[in-house]
Structure formats: structure tokens, C-alpha cells
Amino acid sequence: MKSLEAKSLVLLKHHMKVLRLPTVASECEKVAARCASDNVDHLTYLLQLLELELLEREKRSADRRLRAARFPPIKTLDTFDFAARPSVNKMLIAELVRCEYIDKRENVLMIGNPGTGKSHLAIALAAEACARGYRVRFFRTTELVTALIEARNELSFLRLKAQLAKLDLLVLDELGYVPASKVGAELLFDVVSTAYERTSLIVTSNLPFESWTEVLGSERLTGATLDRLTHRCRIIETKGESYRLQDAKARTRRTKDKPNGPAAESIVAAVAEAAAEVLAGPVDNSQAAQ
């Protein structure tokens, strides 16, 4: 009897392997013992096992999607301090978390000074989309443009374009830090126009729209790019100064209030204030978007 059981188990494990049911294979004996002691019927036993397999499968594919998205270190909305960035509409972010904009192929543009949380929000929203089953890829814009330029005239160019075409959501972070070459700008326009009404884009930029010609070169190309990007889009403005500088200043103010606060802290404050002025330079938020 025992050897018969052992033989069945070997066969069972073999069949499960062929059927690609690794969790059923690893859990069937444990769950069988539990169900026997709880007097659970056969169908419920099977149900419990298959539920475990499904859960594990979903977890594995979520991990795969997250790896494929190539995020920089993950940020979440839990850690975003909305009180520190009042220009960001919390209700709009809560709506975007539901990912309906991806189903409707709409875009999200985030405009604001450096350090104001654009990448943080973009990563958090895109990671949420990943968790909900959407295919996502994160790129620093210059990284994508460089990859496209290098792959030009080669088979890998088509491969990269095919990968982009399969996405539900493409994040183009930091559009505007480095002006693109003429070829780079045309390739970027090609990405945006191919995505138009097929793939949602989240684009972050430190430049107000009227300065995008500085990056894309010609007014014609800038107009055409903005036309497609903004046709159906949500705009989030992260107005104000860098979060880290805000944070450093607040800490220094607290130390200054103390009678014998360390001198080093006031040096940090002075540096923070000077840097804030420099960083505030490029964006005039009053005109960034409407």
C-alpha cells in the first residue's frame, strides 16, 4: 500500500510538472493533510490547491512586469507628502491610481522645478499600473533617445520599437534636461506620435511648454509633439521649490530656534537657500500649463 502511494505521488508530481503547476506540486501533500484533518471534501481540496497556484502565478507575473519596467528605486504614494506640495491635486492622483487613463489611452504630463516630486509621482503611478497588470516601461528621456540613435539602421531598432508598441504605459522622465540633437528630436517625436491613442505616456519635465523648442529644436516639431501629447492629457504642476531643500530649511529653522544650535546647521541653511534660488531659475510655473 505504502509503495503504491509513493508511486502515485511520483506520477502525480510528474504530471504536475508537465502541466506546469509548480505550486500544486509543492503544496498538494501539505494541503491534503490539512483537509483530511479538517474533514474537507475532495472538491474543496482541489479548489484550495488551484487558488494557491493562481495566487502564486499572479505574484510571479507581477514581479516579472515590475522587473521589465526597469524602474529606478521604487517610490510609493504612501511616502509622498501632499501637504508639502499643495499644487498637486490629491484627488486627481487618487483617480490616476485607478488607471482608467491607461484604458482611455490618455497621457499625464508633470511639469515643475527640479526636486519637486515629478519622478516620485511618475514612478509611484507607473508601479501601481504594473501591479494592476499593465505593461509598463520607464525611461529617462535621454536614455531612450540615445538607445534609439544607437540602434538606428540596425535590426535592434525595430526590436526596440516593437517592445515600445507592446506597452500600455510608457514613462518618459526628465524631458528637457538635455537638448536633443535634430535626429534625437525626430526620433522622440516618432515615439510620441506612435504612442498617440495607442499607449499612454507619463512625461515629466522641468520646462514650461513654451520652452520645449529649446529641447526639440524646431517649432514645427515642438508643436506637433505637444499637439499629440496634450490632446487628451492630465497636467500636474509641482509648483515651488525642491522638496529636499524645503526639508533642509525646515530642519535648520528648528535648530535656529534653539539657543545654542550647531553652527553647521546655519551653513546648511545658507547653502540650501542659495541652491533653491539657482534651481528655481528655469521654470516659471505661472505659465507652465493650464
What is the contact surface with Mg ion in residues (CB under 5 A)? 119
Give whichever of 72 and 262 is closer to ligand ADP, judged by the CB atom.
72
Cβ-closest residue to ligand ADP? 117
Give whichever of 24 and 77 is closer to ligand ADP, judged by the CB atom.
77
Q: If you compute the radius of gyration of the chain from its CA atoms, what whole number of angstroms results?
A: 26
Residues 227-246 interacting with ligand ADP (rule: CB under 6 A): 238, 243-244
Give whichever of 190 and 273 is closer to ligand ADP, judged by the CB atom.
273
Give whichever of 119 and 142 is closer to Mg ion, judged by the CB atom.
119
Which one of ligand ADP, Mg ion, none interacts with residue 75, CB within 5 to 8 A by kind? ligand ADP
Minimum distance, C-beta of residue 41 to ligand ADP, in the bound complex (Å): 51
Each residue 106-125 as x (binds ligand ADP by CB under 6 A) or -, in order, gives ------x-xxxxxxx-----
Minimum distance, C-beta of residue 253 to ligand ADP, in the bound complex (Å): 18
Whether 111 contacts 235, CB under 8 Å: yes
Whether 225 contacts 212, CB under 8 Å: yes
Which one of Mg ion, ligand ADP, none interacts with residue 84, CB within 5 to 8 A by kind? ligand ADP
Give whichever of 21 and 108 is closer to ligand ADP, judged by the CB atom.
108
- Which strands, in side-by-side order, build the sheet including 169-175? 136-140, 169-175, 200-205, 107-112, 233-238
Burial of 5 per CB tally in 10 Å (0-12, 13-18, 19+):
exposed
Based on the shown chain and the rule CB under 6 A, indicate whether residue 184 belongs to the binding site for ligand ADP: no
Among 85, 137, 140, 228, binds ligand ADP (CB under 6 A): 85
Which one of Mg ion, ligand ADP, none interacts with residue 140, CB within 5 to 8 A by kind? none
Cβ-closest residue to Mg ion? 119
Minimum distance, C-beta of residue 176 to ligand ADP, in the bound complex (Å): 11
Which one of Mg ion, ligand ADP, none interacts with residue 243, CB within 5 to 8 A by kind? ligand ADP
Give whichever of 114 and 208 is closer to ligand ADP, judged by the CB atom.
114
Residues 65-84 interacting with ligand ADP (rule: CB under 6 A): 75, 79-81, 84
Largest CA distance in the chain: 84
Minimum distance, C-beta of residue 245 to Mg ion, in the bound complex (Å): 15
- Interacting residues with ligand ADP (CB under 6 A): 75, 79-81, 84-85, 112, 114-120, 204, 238, 243-244
